[in-house]
Amino acid sequence: MKTINKFDARLLAQEERKTVIRVSMIMMFCNLFLASMKGLAGTIGHSSAMVSDAINSASDVLNTLIVIVGIRMATKDSDHDHQYGHERFECIASIFLSSLIAVSGITVGYNAILAIIEHDRELFVPDTLTIIAAVVSILVKEGMFWITRSAARKVNSSALMANAMDYRTDTLGSLGVLASIIGARLGLPILDPIASLVICIFILKIAIDIFRDAADKMLDKSCSPAVMESITGTILAQNGVIRIDDLKTRLFGSKIYVDTEIAVDSRMTLIDAHNISEAVHHALEMSNPDIKHCMVHVNPYDPVTDTEPTHSAEVKHHGHAVHH
């Protein structure tokens, strides 16, 4: 298993921030290009849907700026007023971003309903130019989604992942625009608002998912069973650890805090017991780069009165049960 020391961890955090900012800057310029292209094509080609899509791309520039600011704040070193760090700023950025996405979805749905109600109004037939612009937008946005999602998974950034999911909604939006343009050219303008309503549902679903993920990290949600299993195995692998009496984890932004109680031989000296707790502490922080800090408490184990088999107890912690 790959290990890192404290100096490497600091460098890793700096590299993660550079990765997020670099990807975000590239995506921001892509959105500027798409906003200009679709705005021009929609105006010249008589497509209000394309103009709306251009406005959406322009709003993505603001979303990207929010991510950049959130990441810069989240990766700041701890200070006197924030002694546990600033990782939750990233969650705040994700929640704010989910709100903007939700507003965008509601706006799309509202306009679609109005269009259905006023379906007899005069409609312009979009030019072929708008179809070309929609196809280009779909391809570029889908590429932006995959690149951003890959980077978000690499550095475990919820804010960057939120931006990636926003790009996926934009792809769906451009698909709806393309469908509405083709429908209008085929004499079926009603397809425009219907497609917009479907897109509205997708947008709101993604906004809710982003909000839920950020809220979980703000509310100290425990780690997944797979991560708990890995942490448990790392603790029990240390010499001198007889069993785990308690294990708790909490998500702090994109980082993990671990609190555990271990049992060691009660006949050990205080120094020996302390050395074991230090070994557990060191092993945990080196086993997973997302573990920012862990607190290890030592309980005495009496081999005479405590007959519980070694490593067979159920580990007690919030949310999951791990057996060994």
Distance in angstroms (rounded) separating the CA atoms of residues 260 and 292: 14
φ, ψ for residue 122 (rounded to 5)? -70, 135
Q: Is the pLDDT of residue 263 over 60?
A: yes
Predicted structure pTM score:
0.61
Top CATH class, 6-218: mainly alpha
Asked if 283 and 237 touch (Cβ cutoff 8 Å), the reply is: yes
Distance in angstroms (rounded) separating the CA atoms of residues 22 and 2: 25
Show Cβ contacts of residue 281 under 8 Å, excluding neighbours closer than 6 positions.
294, 296
pLDDT score recorded for residue 274: 94
Mean pLDDT over residues 185-191, rounded? Answer: 78
Query: Three-class SS of residue 154?
Result: helix
Q: Where is 299: in which H helix or E strand? A: strand 291-301
Burial class (CB in 10 A: 0-12, 13-18, 19+), 176: buried
pLDDT score recorded for residue 157: 76
Is 53 or 283 the better-scoring residue by pLDDT?
Answer: 283
Task: Give domain 225-301's CATH superfamily.
Answer: Cation efflux protein, cytoplasmic domain (3.30.70.1350)
Token digits of residue 199: 């897109």
Q: Is the pLDDT of residue 260 over 70?
A: yes
Q: Is the pLDDT of residue 309 over 50?
A: no
pLDDT tens-digit profile of 78-114?
667 766 666 667 778 778 878 887 887 788 788 778 8
Q: Is the pLDDT of residue 276 over 80?
A: yes
The per-residue pLDDT of the chain, averaged, comes to 79
pLDDT score recorded for residue 236: 94
Distance in angstroms (rounded) separating the CA atoms of residues 50 and 129: 11
Instruction: Looking at mean pLDDT, say which of 172-176, 199-203, 230-234, 313-317 comes out highest.
Output: 230-234
Least confident stretch, 72-86, 107-121, 265-279: 72-86
Pairing of strands 255-265, 291-301: parallel
| 120: confidence class by pLDDT, cuts 50, 70, 90 | low
pLDDT score recorded for residue 74: 64
Asked if 317 and 247 touch (Cβ cutoff 8 Å), the reply is: yes
Asked if 157 and 216 touch (Cβ cutoff 8 Å), the reply is: no
Q: Is the pLDDT of residue 241 over 90?
A: yes
Residue 319 has what DSSP assignment? S
pLDDT score recorded for residue 158: 72
Q: Which amino acid is at 166?
A: D
The closest of 242, 247, 236 to 265, measured between CA atoms, is 242
How many angstroms separate the Cα of 123 from the Cα of each of 43, 47, 180, 189?
14, 9, 12, 8
The closest of 116, 110, 94, 102 to 161, measured between CA atoms, is 94
Asked if 58 and 31 touch (Cβ cutoff 8 Å), the reply is: yes
Residue 210 has what DSSP assignment? H
Domain residue ranges of the chain, discontinuous segments joined by +: 6-218, 225-301
pLDDT score recorded for residue 122: 58
Show Cβ contacts of residue 230 under 8 Å, excluding neighbours closer than 6 positions.
287, 288
Q: Is the pLDDT of residue 21 over 80?
A: yes
Distance in angstroms (rounded) separating the CA atoms of residues 58 and 70: 19
Residue 197 has what DSSP assignment? H
**pLDDT over 90 for what percent of the chain?**
27
pLDDT score recorded for residue 192: 66
Mean pLDDT over residues 198-215, rounded? Answer: 80
Q: Is the pLDDT of residue 258 over 80?
A: yes
